[in-house]
Amino acid sequence: MKKSDKVPDSKTFWLFREQLIEKNIIMGLFKTFNETLYAAGVFANEGKMVDASFVKVPRQRNTHEENKHIKETGQRQGLGSEAS
């Protein structure tokens, strides 16, 4: 495919998949695909999904001096024994 080619929509993919199922072809295709991946050293794990979503995290607000202190002592300044 080229960037200029039209991309099939989800209905087209769904209809194609249904045809593969009706003709009992889909399992053979997946078997061949998995064997090819295995031979190439890529292992497909069944039933696993990888989530690559972005989440907001708090920004670090420590100064350079505070970071140095944390690295040296393992504790944040001003918290005494409360820090872990």
Say yes or no to pLDDT of 1 above 80.
no
The CA distance from 26 to 32, in Å, is: 10
3-state secondary structure of 11: helix
Q: What is the pTM of this model?
A: 0.41
> What per-residue confidence (pLDDT) applies to 44?
64
Residue 48 placed within a domain: yes
Residue 15 placed within a domain: yes
Dmax over Cα atoms in the chain, in whole Å? Answer: 71
> What per-residue confidence (pLDDT) applies to 84?
42
Q: Which domain holds residue 53?
A: 10-71
How many alpha carbons fall within 13 Å on the CB side of residue 39? 6
> What per-residue confidence (pLDDT) applies to 79?
54
Residue 64 placed within a domain: yes
What is the distance of C-alpha 19 from the center of its chain? 30
Q: Report the number of distinct structural domains present in the chain.
A: 1
pLDDT tens, position by position, 26-84: 999 999 998 998 899 887 666 666 677 777 877 778 888 888 888 899 887 765 544 44
Measured N-to-C along each axis, helices 26-39 and 10-22 cross at an angle, to the nearest 10 degrees, of 100
